[in-house]
A and B are shown apart, each in its own frame.
Chain A
Amino acid sequence: QKEVEQDPGPLSVPEGAIVSLNCTYSNSAFQYFMWYRQYSRKGPELLMYTYSSGNKEDGRFTAQVDKSSKYISLFIRDSQPSDSATYLCAMSLNQGGKLIFGQGTELSVKP
């Protein structure tokens, strides 16, 4: 079983749709969970950061962590064409520790 699994997509939605992106993981010791956005041939850009379980909201983005199910989600409300990118989940065991990334989900938001 892969340590972090993420559906690579591609996922195509119309502008204004709610987007749901998900990752599952196998190591229950992960404590820190992040979502990054990566445009083609660019560096990952940190979108959301969550410690342990719960929800976190920032503008149109909501991150959820369910440690009991080993499942994390990122929701994007009112999606825009500028949201078109690859979304990477990442997680770590400890503060300052290495990040383990998912494969990334390619999202396309059509005008």
Chain B
Amino acid sequence: EPEVTQTPSHQVTQMGQEVILRCVPISNHLYFYWYRQILGQKVEFLVSFYNNEISEKSEIFDDQFSVERPDGSNFTLKIRSTKLEDSAMYFCASGDRDDEQFFGPGTRLTVL
């Protein structure tokens, strides 16, 4: 069964450093998303991406964040200058026309 994959599973970085989180969505999906979940809190929407552009973004997704689909398979989230409060699980999701969204296993980001 096709699934969303994410790398790395755990990323540790120093405050102020740039990180890139990588995702390989399900191959025939058209909609791509990033969510995050701070420990003990709700899953929160960050950004959605369709037809090679951002379709919606949340207040969390400020100028420090960017997304890219550099080729036909990968979808990346970049955080330019990480803050302590960026520590969270980051989930990539992809969806098809039926609007179901399928999540990857997540990348645990720890900012020291």
* Complex: A45 Cα to B55 Cα, angstroms: 24
Complex interface: chain A residues within 8 A of B44 (CB)? 101
Residues A41 and B108 in contact, CB atoms below 8 Å apart: yes
Which B residues lie at the A interface, using CB under 8 A?
4, 30-31, 33, 35, 42-45, 48, 50, 55-56, 58, 89, 91, 95, 97-106, 108
Residues A43 and B106 in contact, CB atoms below 8 Å apart: yes
Residues B100 and A49 in contact, CB atoms below 8 Å apart: yes
Residues A96 and B50 in contact, CB atoms below 8 Å apart: yes
Interface size in chain A (residues, C-beta < 8 A): 24
* Chain B at the A interface: SS class: strand
Q: Which of the residues A45, A98, A103 comes within 8 Å of B103, measured between beta carbons? A: A45
Could you give, for residues 85-98 of chain A, a 1 whenever the CB lies within 8 Å of some chain B CB and a 0 otherwise?
A: 00010101001111
Instruction: Confirm or deny: A34 has a beta carbon within 8 angstroms of a beta carbon on chain B.
Output: yes
Complex interface: chain A residues within 8 A of B58 (CB)? 98
* Complex: A104 Cα to B41 Cα, angstroms: 9
Most A CB within 10 A of own CB, among B31, B97, B103: B103
Instruction: Confirm or deny: A109 has a beta carbon within 8 angstroms of a beta carbon on chain B.
Output: no
Residues B45 and A100 in contact, CB atoms below 8 Å apart: yes
A-B contacts, 23 listed (Cβ < 8 Å): A34-B101, A36-B103, A41-B89, A41-B106, A42-B105, A43-B103, A43-B104, A49-B98, A49-B99, A49-B100, A51-B99, A90-B43, A92-B99, A95-B99, A96-B55, A98-B56, A98-B58, A99-B35, A99-B43, A99-B101, A100-B45, A103-B42, A104-B42
